[in-house]
Homo-oligomer: A and B are copies of this chain.
């Protein structure tokens, strides 16, 4: 079986396409994030919280990646932001070619901030660069504080970790300190934002950090 060489060839070709995407994003001055987490950790909920805060200052757009359904794109469209859904029909991650094929469905040249919400999967998406400026990983408190150690690749490559559902921590064995120590053991420079999309607690620090990044690229 030629699994590994084929995989390397695919990843290398992906990186070439992602580099071209990045040139487009840089030329337009649009800051791009690639949002990665397990299913149900709150990627779309986070966007529903941050887009209304960022919207008055920045022109925002979203690409949604899902194995099936357009549910997430509908949730974003309700907020009035441009959004395009990519349905992967079984594929476990977005790749740069998919982004390239669909990019003309969004007014990228008019955007300051583009969020790509990846397929819910803590393993495969971490290997595929989509031309983004930063990967942001979400860990739900309900998933447990050991996940950075068990799924290290995405935590190693992420600029920031959002610890979501902090309101559930009190009902589980989750230790925020352990989760942060585990993530920083793999990636000492990772920024950490504990928050709850349900209660709104902690969201301001995250939107401030993101605003700084978007402004810096726009300038």
Contact = CB atoms under 8 A, between A and B. Distances in A.
Interface size class of A (residues with CB under 8 A): 35 or more
A202 interface: no
A165 B122 CA distance: 20
A30 to B, nearest CB: 27
A146 B43 CA distance: 14
A143 interface: yes
Contacts of A172: 168, 198
29 contacts: A1-B97, A2-B6, A3-B10, A38-B122, A39-B122, A39-B147, A39-B151, A40-B143, A40-B147, A41-B143, A67-B150, A67-B151, A67-B152, A67-B153, A68-B151, A71-B146, A71-B149, A92-B121, A92-B124, A120-B150, A120-B151, A121-B124, A142-B143, A142-B168, A167-B171, A168-B168, A168-B171, A171-B171, A172-B198
